[in-house]
Amino acid sequence: MAMKKKPGRSKVEVGIPSTEAVFSAGNNNASGSLIANLATQNRAELAYELREIALQDIELNPDNAIFRQLDTDEDVETLANDIDRNGLMHNLVVYPRTDGKQTKYVLLSGERRYKALNYLQARGDAKWNTVKNCRVVTTPLSDNEKKVMLLSANLQVRGGFANEMIRRKAVAELVSCLQAEPYNLTAAEAKKAIKEATPINGRQIDKDLSIEKNLNEGLKDLLDRGFVLRSEAESFLRMTPEEQRIAAQMLQQLYAIAYNGPGSAAIEDEKKAIRGRFVDALRTVADTSSMQDAHEALVAAVFTVQKEMACLKETIRKVKTIPPEQPAAQVEQTEVIREVREKTAGAKAQSKITGKLSSQTSRLETMLRRKNPEKRLAEKYTHEERRQAMKELDEMIATATRLREIIAKVERSADEAQEV
């Protein structure tokens, strides 16, 4: 007998309102009506007027702060030169704000164009003192509607931007806004709307939302600062909240270690090496299914990173005691700096040749350090699991032995060549 599908919710066609789409929604086609209905909660359409507005009466939108980080002075200058040659090809979109008896206009779309016009004005081009054909939304909108218009327009224009932090935060905020009045979409409908209206795929949206919702705030801050990589952050999501908290605490302490004097490059390299080894250990914690094993692996990782951070701080203390009158070139050759460089070089060589073997070794050491490992192996694991472990260890030993013999042979050849 064939299985019947469980009846599901009827599909809801959704779309999110870009400013351009909203303003062209009066054409009465199906997609235009859909966007207009979502944007204005069943209003016929958004009304707007074309006005000439003094540049000084236009204001930046505080909700655009997250995207503003993408705009560089060079970008603005390039756009300004283009406007100077070809004119303003796309109108500014604004909404009015009453300030006492005066009316100000807040940007919904076109902040970079606005900055470019200010650049031209400051350069002495008075023709941009007034901006012609500004699209002024005259339909009263809630704060949430204004934010949705701004966020959706930015994501549609910059949906493929490489800055993961800005995309991630914008996607999370837009999903939240679309679940609020007057849209009242479900989370699934909101994600579908973003997927259909932007270049961002559904899997990326889910990952962005998961990081914003479930990653420890300290780890998220380090991700925003670039000290934690996106792939690492995704692996940390497999850790418990308490494990994430401890990981964040250790990584924040390591991030805070700073030194800018002579030999700082070598010390920074060692800091990166410590970070890499600790992150590898955290990945092992994240991939360990047993809570007890994960806890013991985390304890071992924390113990190791604390010891390495203490050594790094001591190295920095020693470097700082070098007399300041000693030339920088001589400082670079001091024994302290040389020790740091040799240690870093060893860590780099290990990561290039043996990959993540150090983290696997740490995991095995954790097993051996347990109280009464024989009893644990006898009680927790089956006969088949122990036999499989022995087989894997034999294969690892045989492979490692062959690789070691090859490396030793290469080293002997190198030594003989130097002697000749």
What residue type is 110 in one-letter code? G
| Rg value, the chain, Cα | 30
Is residue 235 domain-shared with residue 113, that is, in the same domain? no
**Listing from the earlier edge strand, what are the strands of the sheet with 102-109?**
48-54, 130-137, 93-99, 102-109, 58-59
Task: Report yes or no on 83 lying in a domain.
Answer: yes
Is residue 312 domain-shared with residue 395, that is, in the same domain? no
Is residue 99 domain-shared with residue 125, that is, in the same domain? yes
* pLDDT at residue number 359: 63
Whole-angstrom Cα distance, residue 97 to residue 114?
17
Is residue 262 domain-shared with residue 274, that is, in the same domain? yes
Give how many domains the chain has, as a whole number.
Answer: 3
Is residue 238 domain-shared with residue 285, that is, in the same domain? yes
* pLDDT at residue number 385: 84
Domain that holds residue 118: 48-138
CA 123-127-132 angle, to 5 degrees, is 125
Task: Report yes or no on 5 lying in a domain.
Answer: no
Task: Report yes or no on 253 lying in a domain.
Answer: yes
Cβ atoms within 10 Å of 16's Cβ, excluding its own: 27
Contact 55, 104 (CB under 8 A): no
State pTM to two decimals: 0.72
Task: Report yes or no on 151 lying in a domain.
Answer: no
In angstroms, the Cα distances linking 113 to 64, 128, 263, 268, 323 are 14, 11, 45, 40, 54
Contact 108, 150 (CB under 8 A): yes
82 — phi, psi (to 5°)? -65, -45
Is residue 397 domain-shared with residue 265, that is, in the same domain? no
Residue found under tokens 């009263």: 140
pLDDT truncated to tens, each residue of the chain (420 aa)?
A: 444 444 443 333 444 444 444 444 333 333 333 334 445 444 556 788 999 999 999 999 999 998 888 889 999 999 999 999 999 988 899 999 998 889 999 999 899 999 999 999 999 989 999 999 999 999 888 999 999 888 888 887 776 677 899 999 999 999 999 999 888 999 999 998 888 878 888 899 999 999 999 999 999 999 999 999 999 999 999 999 999 999 999 999 999 999 998 888 889 999 999 999 999 999 999 998 889 889 999 999 999 999 999 999 999 998 888 776 665 555 554 666 666 666 655 555 566 677 667 667 766 776 776 667 888 788 778 888 888 889 888 888 898 888 888 988 888 888 878 776
Helical H runs in 264-327? 264-286, 291-320
Stated as kind and residue range, the H or E segment containing 156 is helix 143-158
Contact 150, 63 (CB under 8 A): yes
Task: Report yes or no on 243 lying in a domain.
Answer: yes
